[in-house]
Structure 1
Amino acid sequence: MNIFEFFDINNTLVNIPLGEGYAMSWVEAIGTVFGLLCIWFASKEKTINYLFGLINVSLFAVIFYQIQLYGILLLQVFFFAANLYGWYAWTKTDANGDTLSVRWMPRTKQLLIALVAIVSIAIMTRYIDGFFTLLATLTVSVMNLFGAQLNMPTLQLDAFPFWDATMTVLSVVAQLLMTRKYVENWILWVIVNVISVGVYAAQGVYALSIEYVILLFIALNGTREWIQTANSPTSQSSQGDAL
């Protein structure tokens, strides 16, 4: 198997007997494993999660490129940049030689983030088809500048505009909050995973639905562990200094 065959989504690793059957490719399987490792090590507050995250979004970008989901492909570019920043933020030391500590977000920031998220979800729900068409067009245009020679895609109307918008916005917010070690990121990931399980099951993509069940349990564990860490006396002291 050469390198190009490995990245081909038609290079099946295993046929999963779910629904009408699901052929999982090598690149999807390995990308999924790295995604699970990323979330697991993040829940354990291990910086190596960002290495696994970079591999995960890179492999999924290859998948979305092949199935012509260019809008979601562009989101992977954001997640790639967020993983790089998170790696930097988690390892950067302050004047005292300390790194970021797990902490709760200040109440004013909570309210601001909640407001921005609600408004963003409402706007995206209303304009989600145009939004992803714009992202897809932008992605194709940029890739064609580098000689990709892609045709402009014709995207189908979103089957679940509100839930899709909610997953997209909350995923972006949760990723950003994780880079700053705010406990609230895990609460958002729990919400995203619950919605994802339902949406993918409704669409008949049972393999993805099962994957998000696993991610849900990891996110619940991350929530529990980070809350314990944030509420510990030493962490509360450092929070007071930071705030």
Structure 2
Amino acid sequence: MDFAAWFDINNTLVNIPIGDGYAMSWIEAIGTAFGLLCIWYASQEKTINYLFGLINVTLFAVIFFQIQLYGLLLLQLFFFCANVYGWYAWTRPTSDSGDMLEVRWLNKQKLAFTAAVSVLAIGLMTIYIDPFFFALANIAVDGLNMFGAELASPALEPDAFPFWDSTMTVLSVVAQILMTRKYVENWILWVVINVISVGVYAAQGVYALSIEYAILLFIAANGTRQWMNTAKSNKAKQSQADVTAEEVTA
């Protein structure tokens, strides 16, 4: 079999009896498996999640291009960089004493700023998602042709769900950034994203992804619960440390 065929969503691994039947591709199955591993280990605050994440986003970028969800395709490029940064941030001491990044909540000012930027970004992306991606795709093709690729100009279809695609894209960017800094709010956003994702992927006929995101919804809810408890514990330890420091200096 041609190597490139393994990345084709029409290269079927197994037929699943969902609705009229669903042919799940190899790339979809492998990407789904690594995605589940990534989110599960992230909810457990395990750094290995970033390795699984790098594999997952690479495969999903190929899938999203084939089903015309351009915002989510661009999102995978961001996720790749964010996974590399997150791996670095989670393993790098934050002080000379060797303290590591801890789970905590956003303060009120950061929360308000994050919400305002998210709403604005969703609105702008909904309007400009098609022209932006079309321009980016043509720039990429022109760049490759400069090196002798001889590719034809891409014939792209309009985004299938511009508002929902933009909402998932923007919130996913925000959630991933918050995760790399270990803010609890990242999991709350993942719950919202997963609810939307289940509907969008089902409407696009990508049922394996829809099922995956239904599973991820429960993992995100569990991650929210666990990180809330961890943040509460960290805050209590910090308060005790502050009291001890005051007693020492008194």
For the aligned pair, the TM-score class normalised by the smaller chain equals 0.7 to 0.9
Whole-angstrom CA distance in 1 between matches of 2:142 and 2:74: 12
Q: Kindly tell me: are residues 75 and 233 of structure 1, through their superposed partners in 2, closer, same or farther at Cα, counting changes over 3 Å?
A: closer
TM-score, scaled relative to structure 2: 0.85
Q: Which amino acid aligns with 1:81?
A: C
Paired residue total:
240
How large is the Cα RMSD of the aligned pairs? 2.5
Whole-angstrom CA distance in 2 between matches of 1:23 and 1:235: 51
Structure 1 gaps of 5+ residues are: none
Q: Kindly tell me: are residues 4 and 202 of structure 1, through their superposed partners in 2, closer, same or farther at Cα, counting changes over 3 Å?
A: closer
Aligned to 1:52: 52
Instruction: Give the conservation status (yes or no) of the 8 Å contact 2:37–2:52.
Output: yes
Instruction: Give the conservation status (yes or no) of the 8 Å contact 1:74–1:139.
Output: no
Instruction: Give the conservation status (yes or no) of the 8 Å contact 2:172–2:190.
Output: yes
Instruction: Give the conservation status (yes or no) of the 8 Å contact 1:71–1:133.
Output: no
Q: Which amino acid aligns with 1:119?
A: L
Q: CA-to-partner distance for each residue in 1:158-184, whole Å, 9 max, x for gaps?
A: 332221111110011111111111111
TM-score, scaled relative to structure 1: 0.87
1:118-137 matched pairs, under 5 angstroms: 118-137=119-138
Q: Does 1:181 align with 2:219?
A: no
Q: CA-to-partner distance for each residue in 1:132-174, whole Å, 9 max, x for gaps?
A: 2233233334444555443332332333222111111001111
Q: Kindly tell me: are residues 164 and 56 of structure 1, through their superposed partners in 2, closer, same or farther at Cα, counting changes over 3 Å?
A: same
Q: CA deviation at 1:192?
A: 0.5
Other structure's SS at 1:24 match: strand
Percent of pairs with identical residues: 70
Larger Rg: 2
Higher mean C-alpha deviation, range 144-153 or range 40-49: 144-153
Instruction: Give the conservation status (yes or no) of the 8 Å contact 1:103–1:235.
Output: no
Aligned to 1:150: 151
Other structure's SS at 1:231 match: helix
Q: CA deviation at 1:201?
A: 2.5
Q: CA-to-partner distance for each residue in 1:164-222, whole Å, 9 max, x for gaps?
A: 11111001111111111111111111111011112223334332221110111111111
